[in-house]
Amino acid sequence: MICGVDEAGRGPWAGPVTAGAVILDPAQPIEGLTDSKKLNEAHREALYPEIRAKAVTFGIGWASPAEIDRLNIREATFLAMTRAIAIMGLVPGEIIIDGNCMPKHLPCPGRAIVKGDLTEPAISAASILAKVARDRAMVELCHRYPGYGFSQHKGYGTPGHSNALQELGPCGCHRRSFAPVARALSAA
Fill in the amino acid letter for 64.
Answer: S
**Quick one: pLDDT band at residue 188, thresholds 50, 70, 90?**
low
Closest to 83 in 3D by CA, of 122, 120, 130, 37: 130
Q: What are phi and psi of 78, to 5 degrees?
A: -60, -40
Q: Please give the model's pTM, rounded to 2 decimal places.
A: 0.96
Distance CA 99, CA 102 (A): 8
pLDDT in tens, 93-140: 999 999 999 999 999 999 999 999 999 999 999 999 999 999 999 999
pLDDT in tens, 44-85: 999 999 999 999 999 999 999 999 999 999 999 999 999 999
- Kindly state the average pLDDT of the residues 135-159: 98
| Domain parsing of the chain, residue ranges | 2-183
* Residue-level pLDDT at 43: 97
Strand partners, 2: 94
b/e map 108-142, b = 16+ CB within 10 Å: eebeebeebbbebbbbbbbbbbbbbbbbebbeebb
pLDDT in tens, 18-49: 999 999 999 999 999 999 999 999 999 999 99
CATH 3.40.50.11890 for domain 2-183, yes or no, is no
Fill in the amino acid letter for 160.
Answer: G
Please state, for a pLDDT cut of 70, what percent of the chain lies above it.
99
* Residue-level pLDDT at 187: 83
